[in-house]
Amino acid sequence: MAGVCCGSAASKAASASTTIAGAAVTSWFKATGVPLLEALQQLTLQQAALRSAGLVAATVVGVAFGNWLLELMGNKMEHVIERTRNSSGLDLVAGSALASVHRPAKLLLPLYGLFYCMLVVSAFADVLVSHLARSDPNMTTIFHVCTRQVLEGIKGLAQLMQDTSELVVIVFLAWFLISWKDELLNCVTARLEGGKGDEGEERAIARVLVPLSNLLTWGIVATAGMTAMVAFGVNVQPLLTFGSISTVAVGFAAQSTMQNVVSALQIYSSRPFIIGDRIQLKTLSGSTIVAGVVESIAPMRTLIRSDQKLPVYINNKDVMNLIVVNESKLRRAPVAPKLPLIEASLVLRYQDADMLPAAQQAIEDYLSNHPLVDKAISPRCVLAEFTNAGPRLALRALLQKSAAGRQAYFQAEMLTQAERIVRSLGGYLAISHEYLDALPPSPPAGSGATAVSGEFGATPAGP
């Protein structure tokens, strides 16, 4: 009796352990169901057959058309890639997406069509066996032992085909996203290498982008893996709970690292300084922390060579919290070119004061009609002051930008022509009395003095 009781207890314990194990497995795995099978079971056998045949035919036609379209794209893919790398904005995003989708679609589209057709066939087979078992009593009597096993096997096959077809879609999306990311990264790095920026700064940007790209790749792979497990009926809730706790712990541990990386990206985008600039880092109160020349900008820290020739490493997040005084930007600031404004003056004799209005008007007309003078600022010839020698006329004219290199030549011509205009009106330029005895006598009027031609025209000789 004791042996029987012990045997019974052992069997109950074994049964209990089996039940616990089965419950544990059930808690981790749960069939997601086959919506197509459930939809076919609501139809008659003929309707289910027609719908299954239509789905298979549509899948075959869709796969064939997709392969033809992908072959057509493949013939022009090199041109698309070349054009994408020379474009920007929305064209760059769309072109890189088109280039990234070609290879995953070409390899996985036939697989998806195959697994989906097998899903349709297995679902219809389940409906067919169930219909035969219900409609024929002899079939039920003969196969009463194995009918349930056959139905469970067919249903399991349909579930597997559905999960596998979903897995193909998940792999396609993950492959496409990773390829798209890599294509965009290649375009950005190629433009950095082909640009005219600082080579050290370009390498620093690449050192930031490449780890971020790798991190994004692992994020896509992890998301795809979790989605695939959900598609196969795996209960990911315990994993998500553990992952959440781990993420929070890692987040607290890597908080400083991420702040430095984000600050480096802000430095690259806003460009408060570049490699080679001399800067001062000051606190909000105005005290100087360090002053020197920027030697490198890494993802984690910035290297400054101080005035004492010592290397100073500062975390990027600390740099963003300080006041940056860039001494090099003042020297590097574009200086607006000076306007080619010509100014000169000449002094007439007091004996010729009566002819000042006529001389001023004649000189202004000469400057206004000169082909090299810009009319944006009207030329002027005005009485500036009375000196000891005589009244002084101030001349001003703005040259055209194309003639900016001829300023000295134009000033000489302007003074020469102004003096000739004064002489043509019967006047002379004034001269200090101390130099009068050293001058040669002036030629008499009408002695054959010839007119002299300037760039704009001839001016008659004065008396």
CA-wise closest residue to 201 among 131, 278, 302, 318:
302
Segments of the chain with pLDDT less than 70: 1-33, 78, 81-82, 84-89, 135-148, 151, 191-208, 236, 238-254, 330-339, 432-463
* Domain pair 271-331 / 341-459, same fold: no
> Assign residue 223 a region: left if phi > 0, alpha if psi is -120 to 50, beta otherwise?
alpha
Which two structure tokens, joined as six digits, stand for 244?
């959440």
pLDDT of residue 202: 59
Q: CATH classification of 271-331, choosing from 3.40.50.970, 2.30.30.60, 2.30.40.10, 1.10.40.50? A: 2.30.30.60
* Ordered DSSP codes for 218-286: HHHHHHHHHHHHHHTTB--HHHHHHHHHHHHHHHHHTHHHHHHHHHHHHHHHH-S--TT-EEEEE-TTS
The pTM of the full predicted model, rounded to 2 decimals, is 0.49
* Number of DSSP helices (H) and strands (E) in the chain, helices first: 14, 10
- State the pairing for strand pair 288-297/301-306: antiparallel
- Check if the beta carbon of residue 463 is closer than 8 Å to that of residue 443: no
What are 345-404's pLDDT values in tens digits? 889 888 888 888 999 999 999 998 888 888 777 888 998 888 888 899 999 888 887 777
Determine the pLDDT at residue 398: 86
Beta strands in 311-379 (DSSP E): 311-315, 323-326, 341-347
d(CA 114, CA 105): 14
Give pLDDT tens digits for 245-280. 666 666 665 677 778 777 877 787 777 888 888 898
Position 417, amino acid: Q
Tokens of 315: 């975390």
Domain regions of the chain by residue span = 30-251, 271-331, 341-459
Q: What's the alpha-carbon Rg for the chain, to the nearest Å?
A: 46
| CATH code of the region 341-459 | 3.30.70.100
